[in-house]
Amino acid sequence: MHKLFLSLGAILLFATCSEPQQAQSTKGGALPSVETKDPNSPQYRPAFVGQTRVAGVKTQTPLNIQILSNDLKKPWAVISLPDGRLLITEKGGTFRIATTVGALSAPITGAPKVDDRGQGGLLDVALDPDFSNSRIIYWAFSEPVQGGNHTAVAKGRLSNDEATIENAKVIFQALPTYDGNKHYGSRLAFDKNGYLFVTTGERSDIIMRPKAQHLDAAVGKILRITKDGKAAPGNPFANTAGALPEIWSLGHRTPQGLDFHPETGELWESEMGPRGGDEINIIKPGVNYGWPTITYGIEYSGKTIGDGITQKAGLEQPTYYWDPVQSPSGITFYSGKLIPEWKNNLFVGGLSSKHIARLVIVNNKVVGEERLLEDQNQRFRDVGQGNDGALYAVTDEGRLYRISNK
């Protein structure tokens, strides 16, 4: 419960970009690309101009970077409550509430047990669209069962005293169950009709990868379900024989970011590739995003994946990709008023890259990229916008950041 603003030797950091630049955020980048390292797979070429390594941009607004807390236990997601406080998940299976000055609640208990080995645990959280009245929340987690585990979605009521989750109930299981500890996904996002989008990973191992292409498996997919965990009406494969009716899109590796564009309403996703080939995608119903048939990455061993192809008819190209990796996790579009030049920019938490990527987007194309908080040496697991117009980010190392203007 302590607040970590920097006095002498404390943790208040300022990032100021005062020199004039030719580029404006809405017009794209005019600086060199922020990526200077050689690609892991130089033999692969982008499918179109601007698909990777776009020009750099630089925020002109002086920024105020605050570390609000160092006391979180492997946080995974951060979202805003209606009153402006922050609801945070911790990988081990507990929720926390933080104020915007960094005071932390005691761990909130009551969620089903998670399998937190490897990449598993308590993952994303979303508020019911009627949370102000119902106090219902939804969360994704790796559910331990006989024979292994799987990504699951549960719902429950945040108690009035905020000490526990009441009437917790699993509403969806992304089958098949598998005895592994990687690539669960999983981000959650409600659409304007009150249906819940859920991302699932393909569980990483070679034996499971092909299931990202199989319509009878819920792994490697983006799903669209009701609040009760049933297939939402209008899903693209509802009338396809042998297909799971919950599937919205397929061919995903391990999608850990999901958000709606604030003006167009389109659904955007971030997805970790293998060694290179991390992606940003615009998600459309019924579309196949290609994994593992096409990819701009290679195996961690350096070997080629599949046939070593990056394009194939009927498979969607990423809107943007990184090589070497960004290791993208949580994403958010900026719609606040504190930093007008960031309007509709996409912010992407980076794990192995240890920074937050700011992407300037014009007509659904990435036209500028900036790296924020590189000097912090943190694995940024999630980034979200607060009700106050600031960005809030959590890191694997246990920090909670607030990013605003001076």
Q: Please identify every residue annotated as catalytic.
A: 183
Q: In the chain, what's the furthest Cα-to-Cα distance?
A: 65
Name the H helices within 43-112.
Answer: none
Place of tokens 């508020």: 127
Tokens of residue 70, six digits: 């160092």
Distance of CA 384 to the CA centre of its chain: 9
Closest CA to 200 of 225, 218, 177: 218
Answer for the pair 238, 245: CB distance below 8 angstroms, yes or no.
Answer: yes
The alpha carbon dihedral of 120, 397, 72, 345 has a sign of negative
Distance of CA 154 to the CA centre of its chain: 18
Give the separation between CA 278 and CA 296, rounded to whole angstroms: 8
Answer for the pair 173, 152: CB distance below 8 angstroms, yes or no.
Answer: yes
The alpha carbon dihedral of 266, 359, 272, 140 has a sign of negative
Reported as type and span, the H/E element at residue 400 is strand 400-405
Give the separation between CA 38 and CA 186, rounded to whole angstroms: 30
Give the separation between CA 210 and CA 225, rounded to whole angstroms: 23
Residue burial 3-23, b: 16+ Cβ < 10 Å; e: rest? ebeeeeeebeeeeeeeeeeeb
One-letter amino acid for residue 189 of the chain? A
Question: Which residues have CB under 8 Å from 309's CB, separation 6+?
Answer: 293, 294
How do strand 75-80 and strand 12-15 relate by DSSP bridges? Answer: unpaired
Give the separation between CA 98 and CA 89, rounded to whole angstroms: 11
Q: How many CB atoms lie within 10 A of CB 39?
A: 18
Distances (CA, A) of 208 to 115, 183, 226, 304: 19, 10, 27, 17
Question: Which residues have CB under 8 Å from 19's CB, separation 6+?
Answer: none
